[in-house]
Amino acid sequence: SQVTLEIPYEEYDRLIAKDGLAGSIKNVSDIGMIFFNDIEAMLDKNVRQAAVMAVDKELLVKRLLRGYGQPIATLETPEYAAFDASIKVEHNPEKAKQLLAASGYSPEKPVKFTIQTTKGFKPKDYEMIQAIVGMWRKVGIEATIEVYEIAKHYELRAADKLAPAAFYNWGNAIGDPTTSTGFAMYGPSPHSVWDSQDLIDMINPLWGEKDEAKRIAGWKAVDKYVAEQAYVLPLMQYAQPIVHAKGVNVVQHVSGALLPALMTPA
Task: Give a yes or no: residue 206 inside a domain.
Answer: yes
Task: Give a yes or no: residue 128 inside a domain.
Answer: yes
pLDDT at 65: 95
Domains of the chain: total: 1
Task: Give a yes or no: residue 213 inside a domain.
Answer: yes
pLDDT at 122: 87
pLDDT at 215: 98
pLDDT at 139: 98
Task: Give a yes or no: residue 210 inside a domain.
Answer: yes
Contacts of 129 (CB under 8 A, 6+ apart): 115, 117, 145, 167
pLDDT at 21: 95
Distance from C-alpha of 133 to C-alpha of 113, rounded to nearest angstrom: 11
Task: Give a yes or no: residue 10 inside a domain.
Answer: no
Task: Give a yes or no: residue 193 inside a domain.
Answer: yes
Distance from C-alpha of 85 to C-alpha of 127, rounded to nearest angstrom: 28
What domain range includes position 92? Answer: 30-234
Low-confidence stretches of the chain (pLDDT < 70) are none
pLDDT at 194: 96
Contacts of 236 (CB under 8 A, 6+ apart): 31, 32, 57, 60, 61, 65, 69, 70, 71, 72
Task: Give a yes or no: residue 25 inside a domain.
Answer: no
* Alpha-carbon torsion angle 74, 12, 149, 227, nearest 10: -10
Helices (H) and strands (E) in the chain, counts: 9, 9
Alpha helix ranges (H) inside the chain: 9-15, 45-53, 57-64, 93-102, 125-139, 150-158, 181-185, 197-203, 212-229
pLDDT at 123: 84
pLDDT digit string, tens, across residues 133-157:
999 999 999 999 999 999 999 999 9
Residue 112's identity, in one-letter code, is: K
DSSP reduced 3-state for 108: coil
Q: What CATH number should be reported for the domain holding residue 168? A: 3.10.105.10
Task: Give a yes or no: residue 83 inside a domain.
Answer: yes
